[in-house]
Structure 1
């Protein structure tokens, strides 16, 4: 399992997020091609409600303690409650309903 997938798995399991992005930004730094050392995490979860930013970051760092000690050089955290996320970025639009119905369904 690569580091990015491991981060995603741990954060999904611990925070049950409404939205999660784990982006490998290592290519932006002076590291060998294919490195997994620099990450950006966008995490939206109700578990952050009422928590100060420092406590949110501490919670993420605690979950990723092993990776931070051994593999990750830099971790940019963007942590939000659902309301904060919605106020900043709104909801993504719903996809339109299919107008073709079940054309490909077998009888």
Structure 2
């Protein structure tokens, strides 16, 4: 049964065409993102993604407004997947985040 489910999930992902790469490309083009890192959390079936998105378009916007920008840019893709978790940062916030990670 699990093999059949895995096969079905793989076919669904392939037919939807949603991959970390396609999501990344669309965000870079739509939001002028300077850094996009997307991780497929679904084991390759393309149904759950975590993302770090860095864009100057987020400057001066709160968390909800940033998420709305991203969700608007990926409206079609988000409708076709199960879970989407974006982390939206300005370039300045991203630099601070990278420094924190370097200290660990």
Q: What is the TM-score with the length of structure 2 in the denominator?
A: 0.73
Greater share of residues in helix: 2
Contact 2:54–2:88, Cα closer than 8 Å, also in 1 = yes
Candidates 6, 19, 22, aligned match of 1:6: 22
In the alignment, what sits opposite 1:75?
84
- Bigger shift: 15-24 or 43-52? 15-24
Q: How many residues align?
A: 86
Select the residue among 71, 76, 80 that pairs with 1:66: 76
Structure 1 residue aligned with 2:31: 15
Gaps of 5+ in 1: 28-33, 91-107
Q: Which runs of 4+ in 1 moved over 4 A?
A: none
Question: 2:28–2:34: 8 Å Cα contact kept in structure 1?
Answer: no
CA-to-partner distance for each residue in 1:63-86, whole Å, 9 max, x for gaps?
Answer: 1111122x2110111110011111
3-state SS of paired residue (1:75): strand
Q: Which sections of structure 2, spanning at least 5 residues, go unmatched? A: 1-13, 100-104
> How much has 1:9 moved relative to structure 2?
1.7
TM-score scaled by length of structure 1: 0.72
